[in-house]
Structure 1
Amino acid sequence: MTATVIAPRVHDLGGFQVRRAVPTLQARSVGPFVFVDHMGPADFAAGQGVDVRPHPHIGLATVTFLWDGAIGHRDTLGSDTIIRPGDVNWMTAGRGIAHSERTPALERVDHAPLHGMQTWVALPKPDEETAPEFHHHAADTLPHWEQHGARLRVIAGRAWGHESPVRVFAETFNVAMDLQPEAELAIDDSAVERALYILEGEAQLDGADIPARHLVTLDRGTRPILRATTPIKAMLLGGEPLDGPRHLWWNFVSSSKERIEQAKQDWLEGRFGTITGDPEFIPLPDH
């Protein structure tokens, strides 16, 4: 298998597991992606749910895609949107934005499932200080098709000759995949850097078993064959390499350490703005 298998780090957030596959020692980034989190699967009891309190970002775009559940997004631009399975939330932080992510009230009445991926894309150096934006893309606006037992949806960028309407700042490769047992798929080789993450199910890549909930970085220029041995949920991500190293601290990404220090001060002094209906403040971490 012309690939490297990477085990993510697992974080338990109180009955809710997040697996962080990037950054790791083996993969500091894949294309423009500098942060890859697998959320769940989880099933919260009545009255419970995800509560990610208001927090700031700079220098990146956050990308959220769900297979199950719902998340309410609010931000300092005034956005107030619920993302559901198949939708895409793309939030460009640029020079600075704050947002919160919480399970909507109606979803908490009975029980609240959640399963999805959240990734961060580092903005190219010329765009790190761009104006913040938020865009919600409904599932039916994304390119989607089925072939030989595989259902494919282009989240952002280009793949297999299809292009997502999501605005990107660099060449991006991001596809959600659902394969039926015995389905086979030759992975698109148009992106320079690529990785495959198996969220659920058992699969093989060029005949070698891939463990579920692992990231597989793919060698450049190859077209490995992905084969599902059970129903699988998976994501492809990557694109053009970063235009230089990035510093990550808390929720900040930048090519400049000094810029991150400024962002810390801006958060402490309230310069990121406020979120209507969600005024909670969290302090900077102590490390």
Structure 2
Amino acid sequence: MNNDLLVNERQADLGNFMVGRLLPFRKKRQVGPFTFIDHMGPATLGPGRYMDVDQHPHIGLSTLTYLFKGQIEHRDSVGSVQVISPGDVGFMTSGRAVTHTERTPQELRDGREFDMHGYQIWVALPPEKETMEPRFDYYPADQIPNWQEGPIHFKLAAGEAFGRKAPLQGYSPLFMVDVFTAEETTLSLAGQLRGEVAFVIVKGQINLDGQKVDAGQMLISKTDEQCEICMGADTQLMLFGGEPLGQEHYLLWNFVSSDKDRLAQAKVDWEAKKFPKVPGDSTYIPIPQLKQ
């Protein structure tokens, strides 16, 4: 596999929650339309230590939430209220402007400890969709295509891959696949995916052309050639990617756009508290001081 990039997970501390940031980084700003990948946990939460991300804004992107363990209650300025559980897919499209919160549901704040683990991913919108009306889509785990091929188990969270389609298609050609094997085996990707692809190793190890890639790392490459990956026993991968959007997108805090002026205006509007609000929520995360 040629032109590959190997990325190590970088840790970020979000209050009581550790997040491992995989994308973007200096050499690669996007993989297909995916512009931001955060690995949440694994962590043990419980009394006095919960996920509480206050009201914050987005423009020009969709957030995709996918969990292995735990739950997140999503609330947004569209009026959506949804608890996202393991295997579910939550997909909030910000378009021109949205705010939302992400919290541990009340039913888990009962004194017990619980595990939290998953990913939150930002998918940049094509330029013609950047100012669309915001919306929230939810797909429960029992609607997500899953199947077995030999020792490998697949779940197709979004887009098209391996000859199948997920209920969530997004706004440009993309894919997101959860792959697991209990025993050592070979995963063939030839003709199965379209566009750029990132392999995120959730647990275990893969071997690619003699190079070992461990949990907490991400490998980025192309899929326009024969490609086989040796997966170790008890290995789980997330495959992300798709067709590049064809136009550079820029990131400013929680905002994504192909238009830098739109990013600057979003910053001004958030500071002036002009964004729509989550019903019944008065919290506010100020925009951090950003390097110019």
Which bin holds the TM-score, normalised by the shorter protein? Answer: over 0.9
| Alpha-carbon contact 1:82-1:104 (below 8 Å) kept | yes
For residue 256 of structure 1, what is the amino acid of its counterpart?
A: D
**21-30 or 79-88, which deviates more:** 21-30
> Shift of the alpha carbon at 1:14?
4.1
1:180 is aligned to 182
1:259 is aligned to 262
Equivalent of 1:112 in 114, 123, 140: 114
Partners of 1:133 and 1:172 in 2: CA distance:
19
> Shift of the alpha carbon at 1:153?
1.0
For residue 199 of structure 1, what is the amino acid of its counterpart?
A: V
**SS of residue in 2 equivalent to 1:95:** coil
Gaps (5+ residues) in structure 1? none
**268-277 or 70-79, which deviates more:** 268-277
> Shift of the alpha carbon at 1:181?
2.2
**SS of residue in 1 equivalent to 2:247:** coil
Change (3 A) 1:119 1:146: same
| Alpha-carbon contact 2:38-2:119 (below 8 Å) kept | yes
**SS of residue in 1 equivalent to 2:262:** helix
**SS of residue in 1 equivalent to 2:180:** strand
**198-207 or 123-132, which deviates more:** 198-207
Partners of 1:160 and 1:105 in 2: CA distance:
38
| Alpha-carbon contact 2:190-2:228 (below 8 Å) kept | no
| Alpha-carbon contact 2:190-2:223 (below 8 Å) kept | no
| Alpha-carbon contact 2:16-2:51 (below 8 Å) kept | no
| Alpha-carbon contact 2:196-2:221 (below 8 Å) kept | yes
Equivalent of 2:273 in 270, 274, 283: 270
Equivalent of 1:210 in 191, 195, 213: 213
Partners of 1:115 and 1:16 in 2: CA distance:
11
**78-87 or 212-221, which deviates more:** 212-221
Gaps (5+ residues) in structure 2? none
| Equivalent residues in 2 for 1:144-163, closer than 5 Å | 144-163=146-165
| Alpha-carbon contact 2:56-2:101 (below 8 Å) kept | yes
> Shift of the alpha carbon at 1:192?
1.5
Instruction: Indicate yes or no: 2:85 matched with 1:84.
Output: yes
Instruction: Indicate yes or no: 2:18 matched with 1:17.
Output: yes
Equivalences, count: 287
1:50 is aligned to 51
Partners of 1:114 and 1:54 in 2: CA distance:
21
| Alpha-carbon contact 1:47-1:111 (below 8 Å) kept | no
| Alpha-carbon contact 1:78-1:275 (below 8 Å) kept | yes
Partners of 1:45 and 1:94 in 2: CA distance:
34
For residue 194 of structure 2, what is the amino acid of its counterpart?
A: A
- Identity rate, percent: 40
Instruction: Indicate yes or no: 2:228 matched with 1:225.
Output: yes
2:248 is aligned to 245
- RMSD across aligned C-alpha pairs, in angstroms? 1.6
| Alpha-carbon contact 1:205-1:224 (below 8 Å) kept | no
> Shift of the alpha carbon at 1:121?
0.7
**28-37 or 186-195, which deviates more:** 186-195
Equivalent of 2:123 in 121, 124, 140: 121
**62-71 or 179-188, which deviates more:** 179-188
Runs of at least 4 residues of structure 1 off by over 6 A? none
| Alpha-carbon contact 2:72-2:83 (below 8 Å) kept | yes
Partners of 1:44 and 1:5 in 2: CA distance:
31
> Shift of the alpha carbon at 1:176?
1.2
